[in-house]
Structure 1
């Protein structure tokens, strides 16, 4: 090209033309993106007003898409962030630690939330939770009387109820489509794990004891809890036959002789595994003898939000490490 000046000129013109085309394409892309944003905003606006029945059977009408949201429960916060509502969240509970952005939000208290603090944030919507709705009813009523919409989500005991909560929050905030996407992703992950677990032969199924608090008062995951459902998904047997979250006596655990013991309290006990294996009489339990005591991420297996599927995966790896690598 150095020898032919005409070719250089032609190349220069070509580059300019391509640059011009690139600019036009960028303009077009920008226009498409802007149009898409407008379309999304219009779709969200069409969804309101909306009337919903919440977990305590209150009929709640939301007139317009909430711009400022306060969440009183970590699970609701995780769901809201999962629905891309991070910018709308203005206040969270003292226990909120995920995602990282949640920790930077204004804190409104713990189980006993600060009504005055919430009022000062001027939210359009407060996401409460059925597990604390009775204890906090007086405060919630104050918020309602101040003109703030309060929506109580259910105290989910299984994946179906978690999906219901995600749909409820999605509908209340104009994120119905995003909610369905989140649910579909969770269902897909659960199904993948379940399919892989079905390959485990009956003779190889493990019996598992899941404790959610350490000695001296040991509480465990019983029947009809989401942890019990997780164990079913990974094709493991729950050694706890009681309903809910029963307090367990050492003799009963020793007698059930679990092959794997899972703890979920490592976030506040320094040595959860040592806590288990050092208990009197537990040395003869199969899980202890075979070094099958594992601590898993508490929030992922106990917080009823989008990360529950990660919790299922952690449980699967803890119980069947050779299969779920």
Structure 2
């Protein structure tokens, strides 16, 4: 059962963070063909995705999303009524329950084609494993947009702008990005009240294979925003730690992100014999946060920053 849980965590991580070996340095969305002087997008329009230039001939009326982050962005742009298919992993917003499911890591090409979408929103994190399927969709006359990997807030802003431009929602995309930036600025301003920086250990997978978040992750950027120190901030990406090495970091706060499949995650961490002298354990400062809010590259990342701020500095962020 533990191996299955570890597999599910790794699968979720690939889906939400794009850790697969693919083009993580793709340029942000950039419109290269615009035929209007107004704020509204005129079609056809050409955008640059993770693969290259893609031309959308007309404003999409039917959209299929292959990954939850794309779906959340599309809904935030007011495209919910145009979404006709989503992945098996989609869980937000509530309306996704009413959409056709098109599969998980291996999507159902025939099902997608039967939905007759104008556009399929794919993602660079899984595109390299789905080249044949994506080619079949393109051969069927469906426009495929491969959204680049995102490992920072700026990357997420670019993804939102890309999807907005490709679907005729450029203004809405600009509004969403602006709202996110304003909320981040508000949180950062509040964080200036922090007198003593807390050291935080982020645990994204439990023992025996303990993984944490290092540099180049949303969690690390979130901790920086709220003036907290990432205990593993000198590591890159998603390193695995031994229990001994993790304990040696002596964190003031421990945050877990796997409570969705380990309901008693906090209790398990608090009960670890080897951690009993760690300040976070002694002071019972162990918290679980919704992994979607701190790892899924979409508009709700701002909520993730707020959640982290509240548990790390409860006296400031009430």
For normalisation by structure 1, the TM-score amounts to 0.84
Q: Counterpart of 2:80 in 1: which secondary structure?
A: coil
How far is 1:275 from its partner?
Answer: 2.0
What is the distance in 1 between the residues matched to 2:41 and 2:75? 22
User: Paired residue for 1:199, among 193, 212, 219?
Assistant: 193
Instruction: Determine whether 1:208 maps to 2:208.
Output: no
Gaps of 5+ in 2: 1-36
**Cα deviation, residue 247, structure 1:** 1.2
SS of 1:123's equivalent in the other structure is coil
- Residues 89/43 of structure 1: CA separation in 2 closer, same or farther (3 Å cut): farther
Using the TM superposition, name which of 118-127 and 46-55 deviates more: 46-55
Counterpart of 2:277 in structure 1 is 284
Question: 5+ unaligned residues in a row in structure 1: which ranges?
Answer: 1-41
Partner in structure 2 of residue 53 of structure 1: 48
Deviations, residues 129-175 of structure 1 (Å, cap 9, x unaligned): 11111111111111111111110111110000000000000000000
- Within the candidate set 286, 291, 306, 1:293 is matched to 286
Which one of the candidate residues 157, 161, 178 is aligned to 1:167? Answer: 161
Give the drift of 1:280.
3.6
Residue aligning to 1:28: none
Cα pair distance change 1:244/1:68, threshold 3 Å: same
- Matched positions, count: 281
Choose between structure 1 and 2: higher helix proportion: 1
Offset of residue 272 of structure 1: 0.8
Which of 230, 233, 245 is the equivalent residue of 1:252?
A: 245
Question: CA RMSD, aligned part only?
Answer: 1.3
Deviation at 1:298, TM superposition (A): 1.3
What is the match of residue 5 of structure 2? none
2:180 equivalent to 1:180: no
Give the aligned partner of residue 74 of structure 1: 68
Q: Distance in 1 between matches of 2:251 and 2:50?
A: 36
In structure 2, the residue matched to 1:6 is none
Q: Per-residue deviation at 1:260?
A: 0.3
- Contact 1:80 / 1:169 at 8 angstroms: preserved in 2? yes
Bigger relative CO (Cα 8 Å, ≥ 6 apart)? 2
Query: For residues 206 and 72 of structure 2, what CA distance do their matches in structure 1 show?
Result: 26
Cα gap change, 1:90/1:322 in structure 2, threshold over 3 Å: closer, same or farther? same
Determine which structure has more spread, i.e. the larger CA radius of gyration: 1
CA 1:49/1:209 → structure 2, altered by over 3 Å: closer, same or farther? same
Aligned to 1:8: none
* Counterpart-to-counterpart distance in 1, 2:38 and 2:59: 11
- Residue by residue over 1:85-132, the C-alpha shift from the partner in whole angstroms, topping out at 9 and shown as x without a partner, is 001000000011110001210000111111111111111000011111
The 8 Å contact of residues 201 and 251 in structure 2, kept in 1 or not, is answered as: yes
- In 1: Cα distance, 2:124 partner to 2:242 partner: 29
Separation in 2 of the partners of 1:198 and 1:265? 30
